[in-house]
Every structure is written in C-alpha cells, then in structure tokens.
Amino acid sequence: MIYDILDYISIFLALLIVLPFHEFAHGFAAVKSGDLTPKLQNRYTLNPFAHFDLPGLLCFLFAGFGWAKPVPINPNNFTNYKKGCFFVSIAGVVMNYVTSFIAYPLFILAIMFMPDIGYFDEVITYSLFYIFSFGITFAIFNLLPIYPLDGFRVVDVFNKKRGPVFCFLRDKGVYILYALIGLSVIADVLDIYQLDILGNFIGFVASYLQIPITWFWGLIF
C-alpha cells in the first residue's frame, strides 16, 4: 500500500514538471511569433496550477497519458502566420523530448548515488523516472493527427486541401480521443492488454524514441 501511495505522489510531482513546461513552450513560441495573448491571459507561466485540466490530469494519473489546459493564442497576431502556427504547434512536443533528455541522467544519478533517506529518495527516483517517461509519451500523444492535439495543428499548417478525412478528424477528433482513452481505462481495469489500442501504440513508438536518449547518456554513464 505504501508503495502505491509513493507511486501516485511521484506521478503527481512529475506532472508538476511535464505539463507546465509543455504549455509554457506553446506560450513562449506564440509570444516570440508576435502574439501576446498568453501573457494577457496569465498563461505565460510555469505555475502548474495555471495549466492543469482536471480530466486530463486524471487520465494521466490512471491511464498514463492525458492533457493540460491549452494556452490561448491568436494566430492572427503572428508576424508570419504559417511559420508561427508551426512553431507554436511543435513547441510543446519539442519541450517534452528535451525534458525527457534532461530527466534521464538525473534518474540514473539518483539510482547510483541517492542515499537512503526514508521514502524521500524513492519519491525522487520515481518522480525522475516518470518525468522521463511522461515527457516521451506526452510528446507522442500530442503528435497524433487528431483534433485538438498538436499533431493535427501541424498537419493543418501544411494541408491546403480540406479533404473528408481531415474534416472528420477535425469534427470528431475529440470523440475519437475519448473513445481511445476509455478503451485504455477499460483495458487496465479488465487486464486486457490487447484492448489498449492507444497505450500499445504510444508504448511501441516510445520504445524507439527513448533509444537516442538512453544511447547518448549511456556513453557517459
């Protein structure tokens, strides 16, 4: 029981890092592209509670992936519309991968050198692992080309023709996400691994995306 509690504490602490860094990156890119809306809406901050979305947070806690409250932007203020939309859309994903890249060596150092100080050392070690893990899975999740995720917005930047598939993903995307997340939760409750389509896909891609990080730091440690 105590280790389950420590696990949830560690997950929550990891989310205090992963989610606000992701959303701040969107806001930072928007401001640099000429839109001050994130500042005017008090979302140009690393304060995690300014970015938390309760359903997305609960999904993170129980399904391993979720979302934060999107930073409001007005692309009409961008000095270069297409370039601004692209950089704002991709900024959060890039930040997630950078966060994982930084967290991994800290996780390894914690395993190697963290002294035994009650349960505190385990919380630190677990939290660093979840920051590394969530950074990658959050990046993959957000790259899915389904509205309202970042991947859809990246596709939208370069998509000149609004075909039926694009319109379907835009209009029904949120319901597709809810259905996939619902399947993941049901799969976890019923212990039916094959039913977790979204989780299996993210896990498969993550196993490859983490290779450059572990390989690079493996040269040092």
Name the domain count of the chain: 1
Mean pLDDT of the 47-66 span: 75
Q: What integer pLDDT is reported at residue 61 of this predicted model? A: 67
Q: What residues contact 147, with CB distance under 8 A and at least 6 apart?
A: 169, 170, 171, 173, 174
Structure tokens at 88: 């704002």
Torsion on CA atoms 152, 157, 162, 167, rounded to nearest 10:
20
Tell me how far apart the alpha carbons of residues 99 and 111 are, in angstroms, rounded to a whole number.
18
Q: Is 23 a catalytic residue?
A: yes
Tell me how far apart the alpha carbons of residues 160 and 174 are, in angstroms, rounded to a whole number.
22
Residue 114 confidence class, pLDDT cut points 50, 70, 90: confident
Return the percentage of the chain with pLDDT > 70, whole number.
Answer: 95
Range of the domain at 103: 2-218
Dihedral pair phi/psi, residue 161, rounded to 5°? -105, 125
Q: 20, 23, 29, 63: which is the annotated catalytic residue?
A: 23
Mean pLDDT of the 186-211 span: 85
**H-type helices in 34-163, by residue range?**
37-40, 54-63, 81-113, 120-143, 150-158
Tell me how far apart the alpha carbons of residues 98 and 105 are, in angstroms, rounded to a whole number.
12
**H-type helices in 114-196, by residue range?**
120-143, 150-158, 164-190
Q: What integer pLDDT is reported at residue 125 of this predicted model? A: 94
Question: Which range has the worst mean pLDDT, 31-40, 112-121, 126-135, 140-149?
Answer: 112-121
Using only the alpha carbons of the chain, give its radius of gyration. 18
Q: Is the pLDDT of residue 147 over 80?
A: yes
Tell me how far apart the alpha carbons of residues 187 and 121 are, in angstroms, rounded to a whole number.
32
Tell me how far apart the alpha carbons of residues 108 and 128 are, in angstroms, rounded to a whole number.
9
Structure tokens at 178: 């809810």
